[in-house]
Amino acid sequence: MKKAQSLLIRFSQVALVLLGATFLVSILIRQLPGDVSLLINPVASEAERASLRHELGLDRNYFSAYWMWLSRMFQGDFGFFIFGGKVLPVLKTAIPPTLQLIFYTQIVALTVAVPLGVTSAYKQGTRFDRFTSTTLFSLSSIPNFGIGLILSLIIGVKIGILPPSGYKPISEGLLDHFRLMVLPVLTLAIAPISTYTRLLRAEMIGALREDYVLLALSKGLSDRRILLRHVLRPSCTTLMTSAALSMGGLIGGALVIEIIFVIPGMGTQLAKAIGMREFLAIQTYVAFIALFYITFNSIIDFLIGVVDPRTRNRRA
């Protein structure tokens, strides 16, 4: 009963955020300069332009235009491109590469950052700790498109061990798929690796001073066991929250990185759509990006509750 209730609350929250995000975007798109009807038919007469505008819903007010898009979405119509074609097939090919890029990045970032963070906390103040934090700090201060271009140039072009750009779906061979993903994922992962490592290190150092660590020690447990079983778990909720929040940055980052590495994902499509004033497509893209962000955050929220029982009652 209580569970169903909290789930319901959760879902209505998600719906509300989605509606808000897409409505805001629909207003913002309208603020873009330039008349779409002129873009479509530069030599149209005033009457032709008016009818075009009416057809596209551009003569409606914000609410009515938004409603037009929304009601079509509910009917499974994801919109069309003003210059021809439906949005849905493009979405179908553009979502997988972006999702893959982001998930691989999160996995790589966490698998690198957790051991680094744990070790730096345990060896706090040693040469290892200082070396790790300086290196990560300097790497994370380079913008990711810079890192992307450098990696692509050096590893992809000069050394040539990995392809400098391109994308292949998993269905065309797993090895090829991953070989193409290495550089973009590495590029995107550097910033979160640095954030996660520093966060986890700070949290663990705090947790190591707790009484329960002393109690665990007095049971005669090994340092390794204490670190992994007693300290890492209470410390990783901050890390998880940060992973959820960094999703926004990662989506934004992925959009840029896709263009550098020529990956036909959401970023490439979104850039194209913005350039062409494809306002219906933009709106649909944003809805999906928001949906994805919210879904991921909800999953993380749930997982935090699993990991840390103290947070369970606070939510819902």
Partner 1 sequence: MSEILKLSDFSVSFDTPRGDLHAVRGVDLSIAKGESIGIVGESGSGKTVLSRATMGLMPSTATCTGTVEFKGAVISNLSRAEVRKNWGTGMAMVFQDPMTSLNPVRRIGSQLMEALIVRLGMSKDQARARSVELLERVRIPDPYAAMKKYPGELSGGMRQRIVIAIAIACTPELLFADEPTTALDVTVQAQVLELLAELRQEFNMAMILVTHDLGVVAGQTDRVIVMYAGQIVEAASTTDLFRNMKMPYTEALMKSIPRMDQSSGQRLRVITGRLPDPTTPEPGCSFAPRCEYATDKCRTEKPPLVTTQTGHQYRCFFPIGGSL
| In the block, residue with structure tokens 């020529």 | 262
Distance of alpha carbon 155 from alpha carbon 36, whole angstroms:
43
CA distance 133 to 201: 10
Nearer to partner 1, 121 or 181 (CB): 121
Shortest Cβ distance from residue 3 to partner 1 (Å)?
Answer: 18
Please answer whether residues 283 and 91 qualify as being in contact, where contact means their C-beta atoms are separated by less than 8 angstroms: no
- Please, which residue, 38 or 228, has the CB nearer to partner 1? 228
Question: Smallest distance from the beta carbon of 109 to partner 1, in angstroms?
Answer: 23
Please give, one letter per residue, the 3-state secondary structure of 227-242. HHHHHHHHHHHHHHHH
Closest CB to partner 1 among residues 59, 223: 223
Q: Which amino acid, residue 108? A: V
Minimum CB–partner distance for residue 296 and partner 1 (Å): 23
Tokens of 83: 């210059």
* Closer of 103 and 212 to partner 1 (Cβ): 212
Beta strands in 142-243 (DSSP E): none
**Least gap, CB of 93 to partner 1 (angstroms):** 43
Q: What three-state secondary structure class fits 187?
A: helix
What is the C-alpha separation between 256 and 12, in angstroms, rounded?
32
Minimal distance in Å, beta carbon 132 to partner 1?
A: 20
For partner 1, the closer CB: 154 or 214: 214
| Torsion, Cα of 72, 75, 79, 80 (10° steps) | -120
Residue number with CB closer to partner 1 (46 or 314): 314
Which helix (H) or strand (E) element contains residue 206?
helix 174-208
Smallest gap from Cβ 211 to partner 1, in A, equals 4
Give me the least distance between CB of 307 and partner 1, in Å please: 7
Between 48 and 210, CB nearer to partner 1: 210
**Closest among 96, 93, 115, 116 to 104, alpha carbons compared:** 96
Give the C-alpha separation, 258 to 93, whole Å: 14
What residues make contact with partner 1 under the rule CB under 8 A? Answer: 210-212, 214-222, 225, 229-230, 233-234, 307-310
CB-neighbour burial class of residue 249 (10 A; exposed 0-12, middle 13-18, buried 19+): middle
CB nearer to partner 1: give 12 or 222: 222
Smallest distance, partner 1 to C-beta of residue 202, A: 18
